[in-house]
DNA sequence: CATGAATGAGGCTTCATTCAT
DNA sequence: GATGAATGAAGCCTCATTCAT
């Protein structure tokens, strides 16, 4: 018996998969769990995705794209000082993830998939590109600050960007591991020191 | 006595398990792979570990302990300026892991196990403790620099420590994801800015 | 709807299991044997029974119910003298089992399961109830004979019933152990003496 | 390191095996359990018995022999009336087993082994012989009673013997299944009726 | 198209048996 | 002879995938 034809059936499935993979991890997740979460039959998933593996990769691409769009939006805001925008980006990234920290487990799954999955190279490449993009964005911000004379210190903007991004990633990880750990003040302390080190006093723009 | 019991049999198995889990990931690893890697029969593993799950946790504990000891050794070196010691620690941590970057995939597995494993809480707790310890070590270093007047800036040492540790973690992650990415210069740029921000010019002690 | 669900699939499996368990015993029986006997795939069994253990218990319940129904039918026949009905019941029980003596091995498995199985208490309880029921039926027959004055002797009807039932059980056991042993004449001799002892001359109604 | 050479090592092992098999059943019993119960090493069992199967059969033979000897002793007592001796034998058999009812589970295992075991035919044959012997003993008793004129009724002594033995077996089974069931009064009621039927009033010799 | 009953490859685990000490 | 660490055959069970309805 055909239910109402969901025109976004594929997206529904991906969303359900995200929920299930987040909660139980890829290996422990069952196709039937995804089907239940999506409110459809088990077999139907296979009309849209050829395998569990493929569905997993689809959730990965979905989230990567979503995140990428968010980052672009953040970078598009071109108001204020370089230091201010840098700090604002740190805040935004952290807050965005803190709001759905429960999905962070999925990020860990994706990282792990770079070892585990038969598709590992596709995961790795996608991550490389995503990090490269993000580094470029953050790097441009830093470079702009140096070019404009706002930042006095000379430093490799790309390298610093990698480290900053890293600190955000890993503060979220610590928050995931320990619900009592709040990554925001840590990031603020860090960004303050960094801005100071770049040659300005930066007041983090409190969210 | 029967066939002489190899007193290091347990360690041999754990070592083999580390190699196999690193390469294929926990889920894809087969007990028989571990046995082959250890040069023993499949059943022998079960004389020492009650289940695959338990073996996995044993590799986790083994590596956590090892890493913990390394960190203590690093922290024990009490020569030079706070900035120098901080930078040296960054170098040491990165270099230690770069030397066995192939095992970093296992760290990703462990992170992921905090979602995936039935033992997830034990993994989380162990990570919390490890991070707490490491934060304390790094925090003490920063605090010492501030107390001695070497660092002029006032900052929450614990919060900054969390961010620094995070950047090391995540730079290694980026290196794992992209063999062309070298985390050392990124860390040096970062640490230089941080030290600058703390009120000193720090020349990283090159390894 | 998917492949039409055979509404009798469960019964088919139980029947196949009875055949296999009878022939090879529970421990030596393989799930794949049951599947083959049922003409289905190994995995299908697990759609209906969660474990081998559970399937075994299901065969037990199935046979106990079947036997219970047979006993009720026998007891429902209310024609003739008490002695006649008692002897008829002995005949009926023996003949019913002799017709499918090959399944008697399964009864032995069930008895043994009261020691062996993790479910041992459920087996024991079920047997206790079955014996209690059967004793009540036979006991009522004897009591009726005494009440009507047909049986002159005074005797504890329940106790005698237990012994009579026991003799039927165990004559079948001897028949199972020795194909040359015919339990019917033994039972007839026995029942004749018992009826005589109860105060009547009873001619067993030959089946 | 050799323990004190137990000259009856073999018997020790069999005794231990009886205990273990009684408690857990053959399939669930582990060779290491037997070894522990015997206070020896696992490998030592194999110095005396070529396999678990062989050990099981050895326990069977041991118990069959023991029981056979007991039966002979009972039969050897040639005092009193036929009815008295018959009733005494019933009592003796029941009491002997009630005293070690915990071992009755092993009898069930043996019965079941006539289906289960690769040695099933050897078990069956042994049981056939044992039952034949026992029937002969009891039959002789009945025949003597008829020959001496004590029993007036004509009945096939062998057939009746089979039924009587069966009732003892199965009353013990009921006692095994239900700790609240006392087989002694049941047997007494039964034997009283049987003796009556044979033409005498028999007072069971209370134990 | 949607479904879910059926399937069987494949893994973890057990444990009787072997054999070096 | 006695031992118990080592072994690997073998079985239960899971679950992604298929396909008849």
Picking from D193, D202, D204 by the largest number of C CB atoms within 10 A of its own CB, the best residue to mutate is: D193
**How does DSSP assign A41-68, residue by residue?**
-HHHHHHH-SSHHHHHHHHHHHHHHHHH
Q: What is the mean pLDDT of residues D104-131?
A: 91
DSSP A102: G
Q: What is the mean pLDDT of residues B23-47?
A: 95
> What whole-number distance in Å separates Cα of residue D111 and Cα of residue C110?
11
C166/D173 CB distance under 8 A: yes
Q: How close does chain C come to D82, measured CA to CA in Å?
A: 16
D195/C190 CB distance under 8 A: no
pLDDT value of residue B4: 63
pLDDT value of residue D70: 83
Q: How close does chain D come to C61, measured CA to CA in Å?
A: 16
pLDDT value of residue D81: 87
> What whole-number distance in Å separates Cα of residue A45 and Cα of residue A38?
9
Chains touching chain B at 3 or more Cβ pairs under 8 angstroms? A
Measured N-to-C along each axis, helices C183-198 and C82-99 cross at an angle, to the nearest 10 degrees, of 160
Which whole-number Å values give the CA distances from D60 to B172, D15, D93, D103, D123, in the listed order?
67, 11, 18, 12, 8
pLDDT value of residue D174: 93
Q: Which residues of A61-97 are buried (b: 16+ CB within 10 A; e: fewer)?
A: ebbbeebeeebeebbeeeeebbbbbbbbbbbbbbeeb
Q: Do D160 and C197 meet the contact criterion of CB atoms below 8 Å apart?
A: no
Domains in chain C, CATH or no CATH each = 1-49 (1.10.10.60), 53-198 (1.10.357.10)
**Per-residue tokens: A119:** 């598709």
Q: What is the mean pLDDT of residues C141-152?
A: 90
Q: Do B111 and A19 meet the contact criterion of CB atoms below 8 Å apart?
A: no
Question: Is any atom of strand E within 7 angstroms of residue A41's beta carbon?
Answer: yes
Q: From the centroid of its chain, how far is CA A87?
A: 17
Q: What is the mean pLDDT of residues A41-50?
A: 96
**pLDDT confidence of A149, banded at 50, 70, 90?**
confident
Q: Do B139 and B156 meet the contact criterion of CB atoms below 8 Å apart?
A: no
CB pairs under 8 A between C and D: 188
Q: How close does chain D come to C135, measured CA to CA in Å?
A: 11
pLDDT value of residue C45: 97
Q: What is the mean pLDDT of residues D65-87?
A: 84
Query: Is the predicted pLDDT of residue B38 greater than 80, yes or no?
Result: yes
Query: Is the predicted pLDDT of residue C57 greater than 50, yes or no?
Result: yes
pLDDT value of residue C72: 81
pLDDT value of residue D73: 82
> What whole-number distance in Å separates Cα of residue D36 and Cα of residue D28?
15
Query: Is the predicted pLDDT of residue B18 greater than 70, yes or no?
Result: yes
Query: Is the predicted pLDDT of residue D166 greater than 90, yes or no?
Result: yes
Q: What is the mean pLDDT of residues A44-72?
A: 92
Which residues are CB-neighbours of D54 under 8 A, at least 6 positions away? none
pLDDT tens by residue, B170-183? 999 999 998 899 99
B114/A153 CB distance under 8 A: no
Tell me the CA–C1' distance in angstroms for D41 and F2: 7
pLDDT value of residue A207: 37
Q: What is the mean pLDDT of residues C184-195?
A: 93
pLDDT value of residue B183: 94
Query: Is the predicted pLDDT of residue C2 greater than 70, yes or no?
Result: no
C195/D192 CB distance under 8 A: no
Higher-confidence residue: A30 or C100? A30
Q: Do A27 and A68 meet the contact criterion of CB atoms below 8 Å apart?
A: no
**Per-residue tokens: C164:** 């009579």
pLDDT tens by residue, B117-172? 988 999 999 999 999 999 999 999 999 999 988 988 889 999 999 999 999 999 99
Q: What is the mean pLDDT of residues C71-88?
A: 83
D163/C178 CB distance under 8 A: no
> What whole-number distance in Å separates Cα of residue D58 and Cα of residue A115?
55
User: Would you call D182 helix, strand, or coil by DSSP?
Assistant: coil
Nearest to A207 by CA among A88, A73, A85, A75: A88
Q: From the centroid of its chain, how far is CA A193?
A: 24
Instruction: Spell out which residues of A between 109 and 168 contact strand E, using CB within 7 Å.
Output: none
> What whole-number distance in Å separates Cα of residue D8 and Cα of residue D86?
37
Nearest to C176 by CA among D101, A71, D111, B16: D111
**pLDDT confidence of B80, banded at 50, 70, 90?**
confident
Query: Is the predicted pLDDT of residue D39 greater than 60, yes or no?
Result: yes
C192/D163 CB distance under 8 A: no
**pLDDT confidence of C205, banded at 50, 70, 90?**
very low
Residue nearest to nucleotide E10 (CA to C1'): B30
pLDDT value of residue D2: 44
Nucleotide nearest to C43 (CA to C1'): E7
Tell me the CA–C1' distance in angstroms for D6 and F2: 12
pLDDT value of residue A200: 67
Nearest to C164 by CA among C139, C133, C132, C130: C139
pLDDT value of residue B35: 97
CA neighbours within 13 Å on the CB side: how many for B124?
19
Q: What is the mean pLDDT of residues B90-99?
A: 91
Query: Is the predicted pLDDT of residue A77 greater than 90, yes or no?
Result: no
Tell me the CA–C1' distance in angstroms for B159 and F2: 63
**pLDDT confidence of A4, banded at 50, 70, 90?**
low
**Per-residue tokens: B5:** 């019991």
pLDDT value of residue C5: 64
pLDDT tens by residue, C87-139? 999 999 999 999 989 889 999 999 999 988 988 999 999 999 999 999 999 99
pLDDT value of residue D201: 57
Count of CB atoms situated within 10 Å of the CB of C24? 16
A115/B127 CB distance under 8 A: no
pLDDT value of residue C207: 37
Q: Which residues in chain A have Cβ-Cβ distances shorter than 8 Å to B165?
A: 170
Q: How close does chain C come to D92, measured CA to CA in Å?
A: 16
> Could you give the dihedral angle defined by the CA atoms of residues C121, C124, C129 and C130, in that order, rounded to the nearest 10 degrees?
140
pLDDT value of residue D1: 43
HEC secondary structure over chain C: CCCCCCCCHHHHHHHHHHHHHHHHCCCCCCHHHHHHHHCCCHHHHHHHCCCHHHHHHHHHHHHHHHHHHHHHHHHHCCCCCHHHHHHHHHHHHHHHHHHCHHHHHHHHHHHHHHHHCCCHHHHHHHHHHHHHHHHHHHHHHHHHHHHCCCCCCCCCHHHHHHHHHHHHHHHHHHHHHCCCCCHHHHHHHHHHHHHHHHCCCCCCCCC
Residue nearest to nucleotide F18 (CA to C1'): A43
Q: What is the mean pLDDT of residues D47-69?
A: 94
> What whole-number distance in Å separates Cα of residue C58 and Cα of residue A79?
73
**pLDDT confidence of C176, banded at 50, 70, 90?**
very high
pLDDT value of residue D205: 42
Q: Is D202 exposed, middle or buried (0-12, 13-18, 19+ CB in 10 A)?
A: buried
Chains touching chain C at 3 or more Cβ pairs under 8 angstroms? D
pTM (two decimals): 0.89
> What whole-number distance in Å separates Cα of residue D50 and Cα of residue C47?
41
Q: Kindly tell me whether chain B and chain C come into contact, counting contact as 3+ Cβ pairs under 8 Å.
A: no
Q: Which nucleotides of F are covered by protein (CB under 7 A)?
A: 1-21
Q: Which residues in chain C have Cβ-Cβ distances shorter than 8 Å to D115?
A: 22-25, 105-106, 108-109
pLDDT tens by residue, A159-175? 999 999 999 999 999 99
Count of CB atoms situated within 10 Å of the CB of D188? 23
pLDDT tens by residue, C7-42? 789 999 999 999 999 999 999 999 999 999 999 999
Q: What is the mean pLDDT of residues C169-182?
A: 92
Q: Which residues in chain A have Cβ-Cβ distances shorter than 8 Å to B127?
A: 177-178
DSSP C102: G
Q: How close does chain A come to B120, measured CA to CA in Å?
A: 10
Q: Which residues of A19-45 are buried (b: 16+ CB within 10 A; e: fewer)?
A: bbbbbbbbbebebebbbebbebeeeeb
When CB atoms are compared, the residue of B108, B163, B177 closest to A171 is: B163
> What whole-number distance in Å separates Cα of residue C6 and Cα of residue B202?
78
Q: Mean pLDDT over all residues of chain C?
A: 89
Nearest to D60 by CA among D114, D140, D102, D136: D114
pLDDT value of residue D79: 77
pLDDT value of residue D112: 92
Which residues are CB-neighbours of D9 under 8 A, at least 6 positions away? D40, D44, D48
Q: What is the mean pLDDT of residues D30-50?
A: 96
Nearest to C59 by CA among C28, C13, C5, C18: C18
D116/C177 CB distance under 8 A: no
B163/A186 CB distance under 8 A: yes
Query: Is the predicted pLDDT of residue B106 greater than 50, yes or no?
Result: yes
Query: Is the predicted pLDDT of residue A2 greater than 50, yes or no?
Result: no
């Amino acid at each position: 018996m055909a239910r109402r034809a969901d025109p976004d059936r594929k997206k529904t499935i991906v969303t359900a998969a995200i929920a299930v993979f987040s909660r139980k991890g890829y290996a422990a997740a069952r196709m039937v769990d995804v089907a239940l979460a999506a409110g459809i039959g088990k077999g139907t998933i296979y009309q849209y995705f050829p395998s569990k593996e493929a569905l997993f990769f689809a959730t990965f691409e979905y989230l990567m794209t979503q995140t990428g769009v968010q980052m672009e939006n953040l970078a598009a805001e071109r108001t204020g000082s370089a230091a201010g925008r840098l700090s604002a980006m740190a805040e935004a990234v952290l807050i965005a993830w803190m709001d759905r920290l429960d999905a962070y487990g999925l990020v860990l799954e994706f990282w792990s998939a770079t070892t585990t999955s038969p598709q590992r190279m596709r995961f790795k490449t996608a991550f490389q590109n995503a990090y490269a993009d993000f580094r470029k964005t953050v790097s441009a911000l830093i470079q702009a600050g140096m070019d404009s004379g706002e930042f006095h210190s000379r430093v490799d903007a790309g390298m610093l960007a990698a480290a900053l991004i890293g600190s955000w990633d890993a503060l979220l990880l610590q928050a995931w591991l320990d619900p009592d750990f709040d990554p925001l003040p840590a990031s603020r302390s860090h960004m303050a020191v960094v801005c100071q080190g770049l040659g300005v006093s930066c007041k983090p723009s409190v969210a």
